Chain A
């Protein structure tokens, strides 16, 4: 016969055992071998019927665990390919994700998503509802990168990409983005940054452009290498247009977000070269709120990367002249960029945000905010660039170019070369 104390101890032990069973977290248990790790999602407008075509790039754990990442990618699972693609049609992204579960034997898992790729056709008609899905999804993080395609669909990109340097995703988007700040030719835009601009009534959003390019210059080369190519600019939730790589570099000069970018410089027929710059500072200021007059200031520090030709000047004079010509050229090009954005009526630079922060009462009282795209198109923007070239690389003077070398004594007639 158990004593009262012993009975109590047994009851306590049973209760502890019961509670321990609850620690397994039954409802949310997700065994790793039951998950399908989605590494990239592409969303296109369905060209045949109303709805979307959603492409899922899914990790192939067999290939990953075997450490065998060689060979071409993009085929079916069960081989050595690190990822494979599944395309699903649906009226919405939510429906497509549900349909995906009927096509793969594992539960789709978005926690390791590297990129969301929006097809050009969808971007042109509006991405609001697609973005809403991704923003609500609990497994997704705001650090996921977002892209827009150009000249191809996201599905084509997934299907045709055969990256030479193998990456986990098979489409190299993370690796390419890691390089982007050192070229300035494509912006790095995470979902959180995209949403911050997307939801702001005072600015418009943008995303890097991703497309396919040939690996070599041969005309017969397959167009199968994923490449970043400038910026997709939105007006509201619709694609307004694209900025090329040089324009994207100029955009970076204004808003920051890059480490280095390189500009070709030439002037007066005397100098020609390439200067790599990094941004030391800069701002956008309102000069006159009544006239909507803005001033963009940019401070740059440069390194002379290459001299194409020089006729009469060299050394410090060459460097100073390069800096002067670069300043002049950048001022003109930044003004041209802003004019282009004005024609599209899309303020991705943040003039409205600057105006709101510096003159909030004018922004509200005069109802500037309701007509901002139109007012932005009428605004006056001045640009001031201050560039200092401080490095010349491993040399301080170029070797004499062939045309500048002293002429050789004439060779004797009949002498063999």
Chain B
């Protein structure tokens, strides 16, 4: 039985470092939707401190994943996992990652549906989910280079849009809404840090995307070069995502107050609805969808791509493309049954899913990194 598949990197799937950065910059799409609710529930007026800390945790996760990926500069996650833990355990670990990726796609799809429902409340949720999955699957089949180009174009639009949002909402921000802070001590703040931190651990994707970036020139110090490249790409990409998330968190707290934001279904959407320039420029919430939907779609497609790649590797087949549509089809019922209503989805995303995400995307890679380093030390000692 062959448990390790052949390398799957056709030359047409090469990405530039800038494109990888742009894809990672799209990860702001997940935390801005429901995460602030939990943060304000737990940390109240100290939520902005939790937002700051989540950036620090995100940077730590970038280091773990970059260090791990750079150790195998030309291999993706499903390729190097068996090299660390052996073929059988590696297959099981890859299966765990695959399950996680599929559910990540399902959750993103459900999020898209719930947000679009705010604008199109009468459209059946299943239709929105099916349409986003079909679109996502078609894009994914075109390969990561298409995602890279989409992300590069959209990043500029998103940054401009968020800048506009900050300018438009700044007059509504009340500084008193940021006080008092640390009333309940540091524990609630640390607790509130976990939901965004788990979402910034989407840096997992770097272990699939970085090997697609050509090493120029193909040097002997590939590990070092890849590490430097990964840290730069990861820090900037996740840094952009964190910055956009933090801006939105601060705006929500400043405009609505902590108590009010914790009651809103989608704080980001309410913020966009609050934009009003002299009763002249208003009703611009649809523009938030224009900023958010492409980003979340790119994120969904990227996870669908890595899920397909991992499945292709587990099945020891040369191409991932044949798995994209079946996986998207499997995701639809998963997205539909994740939660029976919006409050349940919010509870899932900010509760159990946070624990699972931290386990799979922070603790598991940390364990793999430690194992790899220990094995390296042991083998070099002999």
* In the complex, chain B residues whose CB is within 8 Å of the CB of A138: 118, 121
B124 — nearest CB in chain A belongs to which residue? Answer: A27
Is B270 interfacial (CB-CB < 8 Å)? yes
Is A200 interfacial (CB-CB < 8 Å)? yes
B148 to chain A, nearest CB (A): 24
Is A1 interfacial (CB-CB < 8 Å)? no
User: Is B176's CB under 8 angstroms from A143's CB?
Assistant: no
A185 to chain B, nearest CB (A): 21
Known: A28-B120, A195-B260. A357 touches B274 (CB 8 A): no
Known: A27-B120, A142-B273. A196 touches B257 (CB 8 A): yes
Picked from B263, B273, B276, the residue with its CB within 8 Å of the CB of A199 is B263
- Number of contact residues on A: which range applies? 20 to 34
In angstroms, Cα B123 to Cα A22, docked, is 12
Is B282 interfacial (CB-CB < 8 Å)? yes
In angstroms, Cα B263 to Cα A353, docked, is 19
Is A268 interfacial (CB-CB < 8 Å)? no
* In the complex, chain A residues whose CB is within 8 Å of the CB of B159: none
In angstroms, Cα B123 to Cα A151, docked, is 44
Is A360 interfacial (CB-CB < 8 Å)? yes
When each residue 248-264 of chain B gets 1 if its CB lies under 8 Å from chain A and 0 otherwise, what string results?
Answer: 00000000110110010
Is A133 interfacial (CB-CB < 8 Å)? no
Known: A22-B131, A199-B263, A357-B176. A143 touches B276 (CB 8 A): yes
Is B171 interfacial (CB-CB < 8 Å)? no
B185 to chain A, nearest CB (A): 10
User: Is A199's CB under 8 angstroms from B259's CB?
Assistant: yes
**Tally of B interface residues using CB under 8 Å:** 24
Chain A residues 179-217 with CB under 8 Å of chain B are 192, 195-196, 199-200
Main SS class of interface, A: helix
Is B167 interfacial (CB-CB < 8 Å)? no
When each residue 88-130 of chain B gets 1 if its CB lies under 8 Å from chain A and 0 otherwise, what string results?
Answer: 0000000000000000000000000000001111111001000
* In the complex, chain A residues whose CB is within 8 Å of the CB of B260: 195-196, 199
Chain A residues 5-43 with CB under 8 Å of chain B are 22, 25, 27-28
* In the complex, chain A residues whose CB is within 8 Å of the CB of B183: 360-361, 364
When each residue 125-136 of chain A gets 1 if its CB lies under 8 Å from chain B and 0 otherwise, what string results?
Answer: 000000000000
User: Is A357's CB under 8 angstroms from B179's CB?
Assistant: yes
User: Is A142's CB under 8 angstroms from B120's CB?
Assistant: no
B11 to chain A, nearest CB (A): 25
In angstroms, Cα B259 to Cα A195, docked, is 11
User: Is B257's CB under 8 angstroms from A360's CB?
Assistant: no
Is A305 interfacial (CB-CB < 8 Å)? no
Is B180 interfacial (CB-CB < 8 Å)? yes
Picked from B118, B127, B180, the residue with its CB within 8 Å of the CB of A360 is B180
Picked from B123, B256, B259, the residue with its CB within 8 Å of the CB of A28 is B123
In angstroms, Cα B373 to Cα A85, docked, is 77
In angstroms, Cα B256 to Cα A200, docked, is 11
* In the complex, chain A residues whose CB is within 8 Å of the CB of B122: 27-28
A364 — nearest CB in chain B belongs to which residue? Answer: B183
* In the complex, chain B residues whose CB is within 8 Å of the CB of A356: 180
User: Is B180's CB under 8 angstroms from A142's CB?
Assistant: no
In angstroms, Cα B274 to Cα A28, docked, is 23
Known: A143-B282, A192-B274, A357-B179. A25 touches B121 (CB 8 A): no
B286 to chain A, nearest CB (A): 12
A139 — nearest CB in chain B belongs to which residue? Answer: B121
* In the complex, chain A residues whose CB is within 8 Å of the CB of B283: 111, 141
User: Is A357's CB under 8 angstroms from B282's CB?
Assistant: no
In angstroms, Cα B312 to Cα A209, docked, is 68
* In the complex, chain B residues whose CB is within 8 Å of the CB of A353: 176
B48 to chain A, nearest CB (A): 15
A136 — nearest CB in chain B belongs to which residue? Answer: B265
* In the complex, chain A residues whose CB is within 8 Å of the CB of B127: 27
In angstroms, Cα B122 to Cα A372, docked, is 44
* In the complex, chain B residues whose CB is within 8 Å of the CB of A22: 131
Q: Give me 16 other A-B pairs in contact (C-beta within 8 A), A27-B124, A141-B283, A360-B183 excluded.
A: A27-B120, A27-B127, A28-B119, A28-B122, A141-B273, A141-B282, A142-B270, A142-B273, A142-B274, A143-B276, A196-B256, A196-B257, A196-B260, A199-B260, A353-B176, A356-B180
B→A interface (CB under 8 Å): 118-124, 127, 131, 176, 179-180, 183, 256-257, 259-260, 263, 270, 273-274, 276, 282-283
Show 9 A/B contacts (Cβ-Cβ < 8 Å), sorted by A: A22-B131, A25-B123, A27-B127, A28-B123, A141-B283, A192-B256, A199-B259, A199-B263, A357-B180
Closest 5 CB pairs of A and B: A360-B180, A27-B123, A360-B183, A28-B120, A357-B179
